Amino acid sequence: MKARAAILVVDMQRDFLSHSSLEPDADTLAERIADLVEWARDNACPVVHIHTIAAEDGSNWMPHWKASGRAYCIEGTKGAEPHERLNPAEGETVAIKQYYSGFEDPAAERALLADGIDTVIITGVHTHACIRATASDAYARGFDVIIAEDAVGSYDPAHGALTLDWINGRAAQCLPAQSIKAKFASNAKEDTHGAQSWQHRDPANWSRLLHDVPLARRTKVFAIAKGLAARQPRWARTPITERARLLRTWHEILAAQRDKWVKALIQDVGKPRIDAEGEVTYGLSLLEAVCSSLVDEEERETSTVRYRPLGTVGLITPWNNPFAMPVSKIAPALGYGNCAILKPALPGSAIADQLNDSLKQAGLAEWIEIVHGDAAAGNAIVEAAEISAVSFTGSVAIGQRIVRRCGELMRPVQAELGGNNAAIVLADADIDQTANDLATAMFSFSGQRCTSIRRVIVEKGIGPAFTNSLCSAIANLKVGSPGSVDTQVGPIILKNEAEDA
């Protein structure tokens, strides 16, 4: 007998979606869940909405909310409303809870049993709390439980990932939404490569779609890692002088296409022209440094260091430097005899594909593969048995999670995470010049850099004068189209972040 499933949408309310560290961000998560809900409705799968509602007088607040004096989703407020894309349709059950589990309200279980449901598919927030509690209670009530791993979110993503790791295979099965659709649509085998995609829009004009990026699923990542590992010994045996020659060829190709890379950075991530030109220069200099370091061991007068590759390495890069960061990781990985799998952040996908084209021209494409994907693809790179080391640049929360998991796997990891950079201004400084320099250091590329100045420590005697000068310098920054030569502050990459700013 074919399983009958229902979707549970847990706590997709505005207050819970307002956390700045929510991952995925609120709009991305809502889009994924809305897509799954639409599929459910088209396939006659019931949808049950679980909402938390707190009384204005505090009578039903959870104890830790009472202790902090702050509650979420107060009855009658906008914060208690669901995301605009996830309003319950007519006839769909809405269950109200006070604590964590969606089964607190008997209405949820009654609706499921009335429809003959034996499998619940759980989506929503937060993975480490209400998703976990709802899944555990569904399991205890005898339901088969599936968590849509790419349609749940948490403001504590490291804890959320550990929750999914623990619960998968115990109280629940964790699957991507596309695999869930395939499973219940036709009892087909899991879609191994996935058909989902991610839409990247022009940061300077969100109505303009730039790229539709297919998202690789775990099985595809595992297959790629296995293929690279099989090829890696042959690359390791390639003389270091030959590897250096191929990398120098790559450098020549990239340098000859300089204008192309600048234009791509302006378009795809909204980087102001002056910053885009700086990134290309920086990336080329990093590649040149690697080429210069690849000296044939036999040519050394005194050979005290012998380089040995680690194997196949996983490279995960951020969107804010989508040219320089991949180049800076690919070059040493390949130069020292490793094969590599690169997962760029999604807004940098098109630039990564163009880099892949240049690697093909240089004769290096056999030793590196590029995959596009969300957190599921990144997790797969870290987990793949053939990966010998991981290099990650990105957020602190994700970095902590990767470092923790690599530690469990006894796998070398390098992590470059966010910063909280300070500048110190002493009394003998040129106040106006320093203010101008710091305004640029704070807000160029809209501050979307881990190296941006976030704190200024000023000697007390010049505090008021410096503050006035800095405010004036900030007001004089040139805001405009990223393609203009004088623009210093362009668009913010993600629409929801710009609206929250």
Q: Show which residues are catalytic.
A: 416, 450
How many residues are there in the chain? 501
| Cα-trace Rg, the chain | 25
The H or E element spanning position 388 is strand 387-393
Q: Report the candidate in 326, 342, 346, 317 with the shortest Cα–Cα distance to residue 214.
A: 346
The H or E element spanning position 368 is strand 368-370
Q: Report the candidate in 453, 461, 389, 401 with the shortest Cα–Cα distance to residue 431.
A: 461
| Contact criterion met (CB below 8 Å) for 122 and 146 | yes
257 vs 91: CA distance, rounded Å: 58
54 vs 367: CA distance, rounded Å: 56
3-state secondary structure of 89: coil
Phi-psi region of 225 (alpha: psi -120 to 50; beta: other; left: phi over 0): alpha
Burial class of residue 201 (count of CB atoms within 10 Å of its CB; 0-12, 13-18, 19+): middle
Beta bridge partners of 344: 317
Q: Give the DSSP per-residue string, 120-181.
A: EEEEEE-IIIIIHHHHHHHHHTT-EEEEEEEEEEBSSHHHHHHHHHHHBTTTBEEE-HHHHH
The CA distances from residue 133 to 81, 136, 137, 344, 408, in Å, are 22, 5, 6, 33, 26
Give the torsion through C-alpha atoms of 205, 210, 212, 215, to 10 deg.
-80
Q: Which residues contact 279 (CB under 8 A, 6 or more apart)?
A: 265, 271, 321, 323, 324
Q: Report the candidate in 210, 211, 213, 209 with the shortest Cα–Cα distance to residue 194.
A: 213
Strand 205-214 and strand 197-202: the pairing is antiparallel
